[in-house]
Amino acid sequence: MDVRHLDMLRELGALGSVTAVAERLQLTPSAVSQQLRQLQRQVGVPLAERSGRRLVLTEAGHTLAKAAEQVGVALAGVDRVAAELAGRPVGRVSVAAFNSAALAFFPRLLRAHAQGSCPEVELTDEDVPQAQFAPLATAVDVVIAHRLDHTPPWPGSVSALPLLHEPLDVAVPSGHPLAGRDWLDPDDVADQPWITTHDGFPLLATLDAVGAVAGRRIVRAHRVNEFSIAAALVREGAGLAFIPRWTAPRPDGVVLIPLRGGALRHVDALFRPERAQRPAVQAVLRLLVALAAEIRGASEASD
């Protein structure tokens, strides 16, 4: 069985289309289709099926992809040993993150590298819907991603290292009648206009839950994904918004108030298991955990 065919199957499970796999592997779609058909003939059972506009793995496909993951881990371990024996440099580590996490983690990673406590890193900001974070890990060593408590867990194609379980507070203008409250209930905010994210991003579901508890339809006045822009709109009286407590800078002219019952998001580092065989990736993952504690501590100390 060709290891390259197994890699293609894993990519298909993560990306959902032959075209996307071909682009990622720099092959033609026909070449990818041909090699996947060859793998299926060897196995003797269907490995993928169409679901709407996507190709998804069958149960047999998922089982084989999981076994292929272990092959990838073993081969990565061999490469690591060979690199150590040859004295080759470990190379740089690519890290992607959504916007507020990039703002919190990226400068700290660069400072750590300058001080000699972190491998060289290649940084990319990626503001994508939750379902698109795991596929990024096919091309990036470490993906800093976020999801809310009530949204689906990360797929089995990636490993997840918890970094933060971050509260999302309600941002109101400092002169607003609600600004002096210690807590807010859904009833307090359901009749206010809101600045929320674009479709596909998890904060929309949180806002829908607020409306469901209050029994009223939430007015979505503006759609902005960048928290600093949302905070600026809040300051101007355009509406309320959810702002993360630790990873986003404290906005001037805006008060952050917890929502009773809590709105929380998981900030996790996603990676393919075979990439974690590299000592440089292991070092970055350890550092991210330490930096997450630093980020939380710095924010709490300023309260």
Question: How far apart, in whole angstroms, are the C-alpha atoms of residue 96 and residue 111?
Answer: 17
pLDDT(94) > 60: yes
Q: 123 by DSSP, 3-state: which?
A: strand
User: Are the C-beta atoms of residues 104 and 247 closer than 8 Å to each other?
Assistant: yes
Question: Whole-prediction pTM value?
Answer: 0.75
**Lowest-confidence range among 38-47, 212-221, 282-291?**
38-47
User: Are the C-beta atoms of residues 264 and 216 closer than 8 Å to each other?
Assistant: no
**Lowest-confidence range among 69-83, 106-120, 168-182, 256-270?**
69-83
pLDDT tens-digit readout, 235-267: 999 999 999 999 988 778 999 999 988 789 999
Structure confidence at residue 66 (pLDDT) = 79
Q: What are the residue ranges of helices labelled H in the chain?
A: 3-15, 18-25, 29-43, 59-86, 99-114, 133-136, 186-189, 203-214, 227-235, 279-301
Tell me the CA end-to-end span of the chain in Å, nearest whole number.
58
Q: Comparing C-alpha atoms, which of 121, 164, 125, 114 is closest to residue 141?
A: 121
Residue type, 207: L
- pLDDT > 70: what percent of the chain? 92
Q: Comparing C-alpha atoms, which of 104, 48, 73 is closest to residue 267?
A: 104
pLDDT(89) > 60: no
Structure confidence at residue 271 (pLDDT) = 95
Question: How far apart, in whole angstroms, are the C-alpha atoms of residue 234 and residue 216?
Answer: 21
The mean per-residue pLDDT over the stretch 222-235 comes to 93
274's tokens: 């075979």
Domains and CATH numbers, the chain: 3-86 (1.10.10.10), 93-164+266-301 (3.40.190.10), 166-263 (3.40.190.10)
